[in-house]
């Protein structure tokens, strides 16, 4: 099996030195960058938009993983495609016509992800699972970094892994929210292959050391 991918969430980085943060994280071994887009409507917080994605694209060769926590994602996917997103993930709770939106993303050559809030059941994916490239399981209620992992999500990750394996297709299983050195093993044992880390990564003070610690724990 390939090594689990570490996706630092730039939500927790120091925006005053964004370029340095991205480059240091990349050198430390970040596999991709998780970009949290919030609109103050779907979630109770406002963050960043396509202009940021376009700027970050210029300073890293790592994939940009855009997590859209916004109402009406269909109205904005083209902006993120044009900004250089490599993965665009939309919330199933926020989009009425998921097949159409997933098609638009894939037609542009971008990976299409779908995500579920912690309380949204996996069965809501039944008809779309064969069309997606990535499934993101939220392990906190989205909106803020630094929240605690909801422990009942272990089973959801395990069930999601089974669901993906049953398709026989390659679908990345990403997990987001409250992931730390102390719980990364249980999340990966449950079947995750991309782990998002915000506070754990960017507040660690030494990104290289943090990546080495995570890799060692997962060996
Ligand atoms: C939460 C965001 C997460 C967040 C993770 O709404 O989707 O990506 O940045 O941060 P931590 O790792 O601190 O929970
Ligand atoms: Zn996120």
78-107 confidence digits (pLDDT tens): 999 999 999 999 999 999 999 999 999 999
> How far does residue 162's CA lie from ligand 2's centre (Å)?
23
- On the CB side of 80, how many CA atoms lie within 13 Å of its CA? 31
Residue 1 pLDDT: 52
Ligand 1 pocket, residue 161 CB under 6 Å: no
Percent of the chain with pLDDT over 70: 99
Best of 177, 204, 214 to mutate for ligand 1, by most ligand atoms within 8 A of CB? 177
Ligand 1 pocket, residue 177 CB under 6 Å: yes
Quick check: 98 and 90 in contact, CB under 8 A?
Answer: yes
- Determine whether 100 is exposed, middle or buried from the number of CB atoms within 10 Å of its CB (0-12, 13-18, 19+): exposed
Ligand 1 pocket, residue 199 CB under 6 Å: yes
* Axis-axis angle for helices 207-218, 18-28 (nearest 10): 40
154 phi and psi angles, rounded to 5 deg: -55, -45
Measured between alpha carbons, how far is residue 145 from residues 105, 110, 111, 187 in Å? 26, 26, 24, 18
Ligand 1 pocket, residue 117 CB under 6 Å: no
Question: Residue 196 pLDDT more than 80?
Answer: yes
Tell me the β-bridge partners of 176.
Answer: 138
What is the mean pLDDT of the segment spanning 27-53? 98
Residue 131 pLDDT: 98
Residue 212 pLDDT: 97
**Considering the chain, what is the average pLDDT of its residues?**
98
Residue among 6, 2, 53 nearest 180 (CA)? 6
Nearest atom in ligand 1 to the alpha carbon of residue 34 is 8
Quick check: 219 and 201 in contact, CB under 8 A?
Answer: no
Tell me the β-bridge partners of 69.
Answer: 38
> How far does residue 144's CA lie from ligand 1's centre (Å)?
6
Nearest atom in ligand 1 to the alpha carbon of residue 149 is 14
């Amino acid at each position: 099996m390939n090594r689990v991918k570490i996706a630092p969430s730039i939500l927790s980085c120091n925006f005053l030195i964004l370029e340095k943060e991205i480059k240091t994280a990349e050198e430390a071994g970040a596999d991709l960058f998780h970009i949290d887009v919030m609109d103050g409507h779907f979630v109770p917080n406002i963050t960043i938009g396509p202009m940021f994605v376009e700027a970050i694209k210029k300073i890293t060769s790592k994939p940009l993983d855009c997590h859209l926590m916004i109402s009406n994602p269909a109205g904005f996917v083209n902006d993120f495609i044009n900004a250089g997103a490599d993965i665009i993930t939309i919330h199933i709770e926020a989009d009425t016509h998921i097949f159409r939106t997933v098609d638009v993303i894939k037609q542009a050559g971008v990976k299409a992800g779908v995500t579920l809030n912690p309380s949204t059941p996996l069965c809501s994916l039944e008809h779309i699972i064969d069309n997606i490239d990535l499934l993101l399981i939220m392990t906190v209620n989205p909106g803020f970094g630094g929240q605690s992992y909801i422990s009942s999500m272990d089973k959801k990750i395990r069930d999601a892994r089974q669901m993906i394996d049953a398709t026989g297709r390659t679908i990345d299983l990403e997990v987001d929210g409250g992931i730390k050195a102390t719980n990364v093993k249980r999340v990966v044992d449950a079947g995750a292959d991309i782990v998002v880390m915000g506070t754990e990564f960017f507040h660690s003070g030494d990104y290289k050391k943090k990546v080495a610690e995570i890799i060692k724990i997962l060996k």
